[in-house]
Amino acid sequence: MPALSEDFGRFLLTSLEIIAALVIVAIGALALWAIVAYIVDVTQTRQAIRRNYPVIGRFRYFFEHLGEFFRQYFFAMDREEMPFNRAQRSWVYRAAKDLDTTVAFGSTRDLRRTGTVLFVNCAFPTLGEDAVPPGPLTIGEGCPQPYTTASLFNISGMSYGAISRPAVQALSHGARKAGCWLNTGEGGLSPWHLEGGCDIVFQIGTAKNGVRDLEGNLSDDKLQQIAAIPQVRLFEIKLSQGAKPGKGGILPGSKVTEEIARIRGILPGQDAISPNPHPDINSFGDMLDMIDRVRAVTGKPVGIKTVIGSPDMLDGLFRTILERGNESAPDFITVDGAEGGTGAAPMPLIDAVGLPLAEALPLLVDKLHEYGLRERVRVIASGKLINPTDLAWALCVGADFIVSARGFMFALGCIQALQCNRNTCPTGITTHNEKLQRGLNPADKAERVANYVRNMVREVGIIAHSCGVRSPRELNRTHARLVLDNGLSVPLDTLHPLPTED
């Protein structure tokens, strides 16, 4: 028995030594892996999270993968999150990476939900050889320098300041690759907007950033300087935006760098709060005066961006136009739904002010028809339109062009961290923290921006062909239905019949 005890003791000691050795080897291997992973993460440029948070950032993708299997027990379902759910974001991510966007085993979308849009498939869909790309449209035909483009899907206003330099660079290069335009937002025109060589829409906000004199008034000299840049094709006077109808832009002082202050003509480090309205616009007549002034000075098409509060607003504007003559009308109107918005805004304005796009867009199109202005004024739809079904619906209702901001933020790698109003965006898109910005590689993200546009237009085309038309711009209200409270759908042209033009 004593010999057996000694043998067992030696066996136990040997086993513990082996276990200890294995543990040391495992720890060493783990440490070696962590060192290698750290080096790989900080030097790669494709994933901002891994570059900004080496090693730790890898767990995001691991848990995201596990979520595909465990979300029904522990995480939100595909269609539950706000402002954009997992299904919406996933399509953008895959489209931007040019990956397969097909899904299996049926839709996770509740097709009986009130407001759901259903498209009317044709008994005899369009053949592939009969399909054609979106045709060109001209904005501002009466201007000395009209703008003609076939671009269907474009980048909405995001100011340099609200978003970072590498984000603007990626959008600029990506827009050129895709053949779409890039809106500057109200923060003025930076070298990074021009860097990629894309078409530019210069937005004039209530603070007149980039085209203001020392007193903050609109400067004809600076307008001429901007208009002399060939890439600048349109001027957009921003009256209001979906995130904060009736309130001017808000850029926290933490994001107002020396460079941004110089471009805007303001002081660095201080909150940049634009006036609620344009101080020099107090009536529809004033609005048309400014449109005429900018158009005369620049020679380029001029339009407005606005959130619609009621039909009375459009009636007042269009009656004033008819009194002056159709040539006084804006060359385009960008209608932003109350659900729009990428930056900092008071919650009451985000949640409860302005009409959502589902009501505002058909209202605008119908009023243009009613006043005989539809052929004169191009319609640009904005507000939470990030997937092919969103664009196809807007085209059915009557939009000429669609713009998106948050869709392109997802294409850049946004993970909906809801940090846009701070200087702490983990993906480097809405921060001026250089450590976080370095995770966003403009060259790689430019490809994703271009892929997003191409795949968007391709899949909107798929819907159009299913409806029996050759091209997305041939879609109209007969091609869509809207689900009502009883779960049944009605044709869109029945719900929103076009009025007869005067």
Q: What is the mean pLDDT of residues 350-368?
A: 89
Q: What is the mean pLDDT of residues 209-214?
A: 85
CA–CA distance from 385 to each of 89, 238, 381, 388, 459 (Å)? Answer: 12, 19, 8, 8, 14
Sequence-distant (6+) residues with CB within 8 A of 155 are: 171, 175, 180, 181, 182, 183, 403, 404, 405, 408, 449
Give the residue with greater pLDDT, 138 vs 58: 138
Count of other CB atoms within 10 angstroms of residue 284? 17
Give the residue with greater pLDDT, 188 vs 271: 188
Q: What is the mean pLDDT of residues 113-119?
A: 91
Asked whether 228 and 207 are in contact (CB, 8 A), the reply is no
Residue tagged 């634009």 (tokens): 274
| Candidate from 230-244, 279-293, 371-385 with smallest mean pLDDT | 230-244
Most confident region among 61-70, 386-395, 424-433 by mean pLDDT = 386-395
- The answer to whether residue 372 scores a pLDDT higher than 90 is yes
Give the residue with greater pLDDT, 426 vs 370: 370
| CA proximity to 416, closest of 70, 87, 50, 44 | 87
* 414 vs 436: CA distance, rounded Å: 13
Q: What separation, in Å, do the N-terminal and C-terminal C-alpha atoms of the chain show?
A: 112
Q: What is the largest CA-CA distance in the chain?
A: 115
CA–CA distance from 410 to each of 84, 344, 416 (Å)? Answer: 10, 18, 8
**Reported pTM:** 0.84
- The answer to whether residue 323 scores a pLDDT higher than 70 is yes
Dihedral over Cα of 275, 278, 279, 283: its sign = negative
- The answer to whether residue 71 scores a pLDDT higher than 60 is no
Asked whether 314 and 308 are in contact (CB, 8 A), the reply is yes
| Candidate from 136-150, 231-245, 398-412 with smallest mean pLDDT | 231-245
Q: What is the mean pLDDT of residues 265-294?
A: 87
Domains of the chain by start residue, with CATH: 2-75 (no CATH), 129-495 (3.20.20.70)
Sequence-distant (6+) residues with CB within 8 A of 323 are: none
Sequence-distant (6+) residues with CB within 8 A of 411 are: 92, 95, 96, 174, 445, 448, 449, 451, 452
* 227 vs 478: CA distance, rounded Å: 40
Whole-number pLDDT of residue 198: 97
